Structure 1
Amino acid sequence: MTRKIIIGVLMVLLVMQLLQPEKNKSEGIAADDISNTYKIPEAVHAVLVEKCYDCHSNNTRYPWYVHVQPIGWWLASHIKEGKDHLNFSAFKTYSANKATDKLEELSEAVTEGWMPLESYLWLHREAKVTPEDTQLINNWLDSIGITVKTGD
């Protein structure tokens, strides 16, 4: 009986591997990308790409383990949720008020340290936003007239 259960579980796991989620991958920079909306200093854009774009753009850099289900489904769900909240690749489609709100939230997220998510940082230590990164982002946001979150 136990052998049949183990074989059944293994069969389910094997079938799960055939059901891969759709990849969040586009070619090049989207026409509606934030970099086509605002003049972004190269250093700031590099921080956004390195630390934010995997979950908040149409171009995710996938790790090898995305092909292992249900991990791939979990990642796809996180990416969809991240893009629903803020999509740098579709930024030009936001109204002026929504864009301002999103940029103010960006400042708050990096200043208070709730982005990137801890669950993402477990395997992507390089994505941790440093105080220098926060300062770069907030200086840029301030230069374009966005109210930035201070650490106070």
Structure 2
Amino acid sequence: MIQKINKRNLFIAFLAVFALIQFKVIDKSPIEINPESDFLIIEQAPKEVVELIQTSCYDCHSNLTTYPWYSNIAPVSWWLKGHIDKGRGKLNFSEWDSYSIEESDTLKVKSADMIEKKWMPILTYKIIHKKSRLSDEQRALLIGWLKK
């Protein structure tokens, strides 16, 4: 009897905490963007490259994030927001004009290297976003274009 009460109380406490943390929402406010500052515009990417980068990279590495339904559920939303902030901090395609020529060249080479090693897009993103999965041909196209 005591174990049942304890398990029940524990479950109720868990539900209460889970409900309370839902009030700590992440900031998903749109960020003003200047299309002229965008990587794909500045670098004059071909249509195939534009589609691949927008589908596989922009949610975490631009100010044009499309937040999925699960971004409304804490604590997953907190992890997601931290991941996006970290991704934008390392590389933000929406602010490409803020990088020097040396920085942008380095970022392109690093991006190609990450794609080549299959480190990007990350596994957790590919599992949920099937369209972000790159075939060997798509990977080769991106790597070749980024290293040109």
Q: Quick check: TM above 0.5?
A: yes
Match of 1:80 among 72, 78, 85: 85
- Indicate conservation of the 8 Å contact 1:121/1:128, yes or no: yes
Q: CA RMSD in A?
A: 1.8
Q: Which runs of 4+ in 1 moved over 6 A?
A: none
Q: What does residue range 43-58 of structure 1 map to in structure 2 within 5 Å?
A: 43-58=48-63
- 1:16 positional shift: 0.8
> Which residue identity does 2:99 align to in structure 1?
Y
Match of 1:7 in 2: 12
Cα shift at 1:132: 1.7
Residues in 2 aligned to 1:86 and 1:28: alpha-carbon distance in whole angstroms: 15
Query: Which of the residues 74, 98, 103 maps onto 1:98?
Result: 103
Name the counterpart of 1:121. 126
Higher share of residues assigned helix: 2
Quote the residue 2:142 is aligned against.
Answer: 137
1:17 to 22, 46, 49: 22
- Within the candidate set 110, 115, 119, 2:115 is matched to 110
* Percent of pairs with identical residues: 31
- Tell me the amino acid that sits aligned with residue 143 of structure 2: N
Distance 1:131 1:84, change over 3 A: same
Structure 1 stretches of 5 or more lacking a match? Answer: 144-152
Please give the alpha-carbon distance, in whole angstroms, between the structure 1 residues aligned to 2:142 and 2:29: 25
Question: Is contact 2:56–2:132 with CA below 8 Å preserved after alignment?
Answer: yes
The partner residue of 2:36 within 31, 55, 58 is: 31
Q: What is the TM-score of this pair, normalised by structure 2?
A: 0.87
Q: Does structure 1 conserve the Cα–Cα contact (< 8 Å) formed by 2:35 and 2:94?
A: yes
Residue 48 of structure 1: CA displacement? 0.3
Scaled by the length of structure 1, the TM-score of the pair is: 0.84
Is the Cα contact below 8 Å between 1:30 and 1:89 reproduced in 2? yes
Pairwise CA distance, 1:24: 6.1
Q: CA, structure 1 residues 100+29, in 2 after alignment: closer, same or farther (shift >3 Å)?
A: same
The answer for the alignment partner of 1:42 in structure 2 is 47
